[in-house]
A and B are shown apart, each in its own frame.
Chain A
């Protein structure tokens, strides 16, 4: 028995249909199993009509199971993203430099370096500070800092993704066209690596076909994340990610007096 078809002319009672299904499953000889809504059994319809209307579906045609997700390390962000960062993909982050975007990725990076693969930074906006990285548990011998011109940076990102020896690539890049992005996505899938594409916010740029795109904006207690695009989800959701649990010294807000630049003494100094 290769296939189990329920003909539209045969009026099976529901329990018989169930029996048929379970028998087929037990024998494990069926290649295609068609599920049918209980209430439609007995209605005289062509199978193709039922299939067209979506009442019948084939398990082989069903969408692939839930894409692999990796926890972001922040419970509220996991909730927003439906479980975490999608893995082996390109993730776009629209962000200004210095508002906490790197710390948002840090728990994920810490978790990734434990796989023993490389972590590549391409065109960081400023020099990475090694004492911070090692204090955060990122082993320095697994890091690579690559500087390259515009086109070469994309080339380097693609090579790193493809190589299979990198877990995550962080690329700071302003412009990117769709063809290039597709290449990067294929490379990420091939090398089982993840690409975080950090682009400046606020620029009128064309929207890229990425699986996940987030806009980050500054907040006093952490960083605000807004979903621009998410595969299998709705855009527009916002969430404040609080850093006070992980980095309390960064977000303590007690001193209220603003400091003037120039020669004014800082009040908190003494």
Chain B
């Protein structure tokens, strides 16, 4: 079966993409910039303005600086380049299923399974160009019948395609042997023998070649001619989103972080939208100068994918933050994904607002802290301070399922009424975390009168220190024996001299306390 391969080379991967996130407006008129090899301190890559000034790879830093005083010098970072290559592989994964990385700066795309989908090579190449032109990126490609042939074609004659064996042989016969993917020693040996072009090499008998140059060259030529399958590891897109951005400058204030963060969030948005997913939680790691990195977590009860919504939440979160030291780099990672639900809003209701209830909760939590946004919850217990609690809202996806702190299991006969009542009105734990949605179980028990309870409960019972008028009707509430020291309280309604209705109780020691306010 005939295969078809495309080799995609990015000659200036780091130079093109590194400063893209922070100052995208520079992409139109870039300054002369070079990448410096960290070991031998020679120019590794130079961009087009620098090359036009005469700077070439291989020059020393002093030579380069002599040619251009305003030269931007950045270290060459292979790790960063690999990261950028992964990003480009992810971009191309939209178009082609079989992708292999050719570090440090190239990709192999296997096209023959995909051509039927696109209806031919020109249509596919057009799509690929459209995809790649979204980034300020230089690239060149070659298409041939084997992976190695595509590589050679890309290096020697960029932009050429060879769709048949004859075409491929004709195009590659003039290819210099220095482009071959073999050890430099072999290339030197070939050149010393007077073999300068690939066509000459292919004319030689295979047995003689393998005897003289070893099996590596023989196998390479077999792969080149498509007689052996290429040794490639296909690219798999990552399961988790994580992106890192090195800053060119040290940032000291939040407003400066806005743009880099937006850049990362847009990457996240692309990642999520491709998967039709949303995520609940983001983690931002700020690398600080002379300080341990700062890790910030942000949750949104309403799962989001859109960068603008996340940015809104981050803005609220970061406003309150004081950076202990300047920021050198940002890393964003996401966790807790789920697939996006279809919007089940009423199309005709005419939504006027901006947010859903969960989005509102997320917004408030981001600004005020998650402990500050609570929901009153009810627990089946006798003591009022246990029966009504405020529970901070967590995200529904976090899987936090709080158990009521106290559960009454056995109900003594005299207090049947109240206990039944309480048991009927106990908040459903599962429902406690869905905002604005009615739980399935509804309270249908209405035969008994509701207990006489105040609207507000004081955090701590306060000693009664004023004259009050008592209302008739006393209610004794006794704590359960398994709740610690037994306590019996006689609760009464009272009105104070200034007209406030208080819920007061008397302990067995005849001490009076105010416990609640009937507002």
A117 within 8 A of B: yes
B360-380 CB mask vs A (1 if < 8 Å, else 0) is: 110110011000111111100
B437-462 CB mask vs A (1 if < 8 Å, else 0) is: 11100010000001111111111000
Quick check: B375 and A144 within 8 Å, CB to CB? yes
Question: Which residues in B have their C-beta under 8 angstroms from that of A268?
Answer: 470-474, 492
Choose one: A124, A191, A220; the contact of B495 (CB below 8 Å): A220
**Given contacts A156-B367, A255-B470, is CB(A164)–CB(B518) below 8 Å?**
no
Interface size on A, residues (CB 8 A): 71
A88-123 CB mask vs B (1 if < 8 Å, else 0) is: 000000001111111100000000000011100000
Which residues of chain B from 449 to 497 have a CB within 8 Å of any chain A CB? 450-459, 463-474, 490, 492-495
Quick check: A131 and B384 within 8 Å, CB to CB? yes
Quick check: B434 and A141 within 8 Å, CB to CB? yes
Task: Report the 6 A-B pairs with minimum CB-CB distance, sorted nearest first.
Answer: A164-B353, A218-B499, A135-B450, A98-B500, A130-B388, A102-B519
- Per DSSP, are chain B's interface residues mostly helix, strand or loop, or mixed? mixed
Quick check: B519 and A100 within 8 Å, CB to CB? yes
Which residues of chain A from 179 to 194 have a CB within 8 Å of any chain B CB? 190-192
B512 within 8 A of A: yes
A136 within 8 A of B: yes
Binds A, one of B82-90, B132-140, B188-196, B424-432: B424-432
**Given contacts A129-B384, A129-B453, A143-B375, is CB(A218)–CB(B436) below 8 Å?**
no
Question: Which residues in B have their C-beta under 8 angstroms from that of A132?
Answer: 388, 453-455
**Given contacts A159-B364, A164-B354, A165-B356, is CB(A131)–CB(B388) below 8 Å?**
yes
B343 within 8 A of A: no
B510 within 8 A of A: yes
Quick check: A252 and B473 within 8 Å, CB to CB? yes
B496 to chain A, nearest CB (A): 8
Quick check: A131 and B453 within 8 Å, CB to CB? yes
A197 within 8 A of B: no
Quick check: B474 and A103 within 8 Å, CB to CB? no
Question: Which residues in A have their C-beta under 8 angstroms from that of B499?
Answer: 96, 99, 217-219
B382-396 CB mask vs A (1 if < 8 Å, else 0) is: 001001111001000
B41 to chain A, nearest CB (A): 53
A202 to chain B, nearest CB (A): 11
**Given contacts A128-B455, A129-B388, A134-B425, is CB(A250)–CB(B376) below 8 Å?**
no
A157-170 CB mask vs B (1 if < 8 Å, else 0) is: 00110111110000
A87 to chain B, nearest CB (A): 14
B270 within 8 A of A: no
Question: Which residues in A have their C-beta under 8 angstroms from that of B452?
Answer: 249-250
**Given contacts A97-B519, A144-B373, A249-B493, is CB(A261)–CB(B512) below 8 Å?**
yes
Quick check: A118 and B357 within 8 Å, CB to CB? yes
Question: Which residues in B have their C-beta under 8 angstroms from that of A263?
Answer: 510-511
Question: Which residues in A have their C-beta under 8 angstroms from that of B340?
Answer: none
Q: What are 8 A-B pairs with beta-carbon distances under 8 A?
A: A102-B455, A132-B454, A141-B434, A162-B353, A163-B353, A253-B469, A258-B467, A263-B511
A262 to chain B, nearest CB (A): 7
Q: How far is the CA of A14 from the CA of B359 in the complex (A)?
A: 61
Quick check: A163 and B354 within 8 Å, CB to CB? yes
Question: Which residues in A have their C-beta under 8 angstroms from that of B510?
Answer: 263, 265
Q: How far is the CA of A103 from the CA of B518 in the complex (A)?
A: 8
Quick check: B492 and A261 within 8 Å, CB to CB? no
Quick check: B471 and A124 within 8 Å, CB to CB? no
Quick check: A135 and B451 within 8 Å, CB to CB? yes
A79 within 8 A of B: no
Quick check: A99 and B519 within 8 Å, CB to CB? yes
Quick check: B436 and A142 within 8 Å, CB to CB? yes
Instruction: List 20 extra interface pairs beyond A190-B352, A250-B452, A256-B469, CB under 8 A.
Output: A117-B436, A127-B459, A129-B376, A130-B377, A139-B438, A140-B378, A141-B375, A141-B431, A143-B375, A144-B374, A144-B393, A144-B435, A146-B364, A164-B351, A218-B495, A259-B512, A261-B465, A267-B470, A268-B471, A268-B472
Q: How far is the CA of A42 from the CA of B450 in the complex (A)?
A: 70
Q: How far is the CA of A101 from the CA of B456 in the complex (A)?
A: 12
CB-CB nearest in chain B for A116: B436
B226 within 8 A of A: no
B260 within 8 A of A: no
Question: Which residues in A have their C-beta under 8 angstroms from that of B465?
Answer: 261
Q: How far is the CA of A126 from the CA of B500 in the complex (A)?
A: 14
